[in-house]
Amino acid sequence: MTIPFTTETEITPPATVGDFIQFLQQFPADYTLDLFKKEISDHGRCSWDENVYQIKVQALTGAKSLEITTI
């Protein structure tokens, strides 16, 4: 069952891939992902959302973890 979201909601970043998948399963599979990264300047007084043009996912050797970087 999907939950309709009509307002912005902040969540704690998922700790595991399973948690992230579980979060994403709340939405229809054909939803478009619009990703942004927060840019902060002027000593933290100004911030704005920038489009994310690339997501770098790196599986760390010897560790069961992923690094996800937005660029």
Hey, how many other C-beta atoms are within 10 angstroms of the C-beta on 27? 13
More confident residue, 9 or 33: 33
Given a contact cutoff of 8 angstroms between Cβ atoms, the answer to whether 23 and 31 are in contact is: no
- pLDDT value at 18 more than 90: yes
Q: Which one, of 39, 42, 66, 65, lies nearest residue 52 by Cα?
A: 39
**Model confidence over 29-63: pLDDT tens digits?**
888 888 888 788 877 678 887 787 888 888 888 88
Question: Which tokens in the block code for residue 58?
Answer: 């790196």
Comparing CA positions, the residue from 45, 11, 47, 44 lying closest to residue 26 is: 11
Is 56 buried (19+), middle (13-18) or exposed (0-12) by CB count in 10 A? exposed
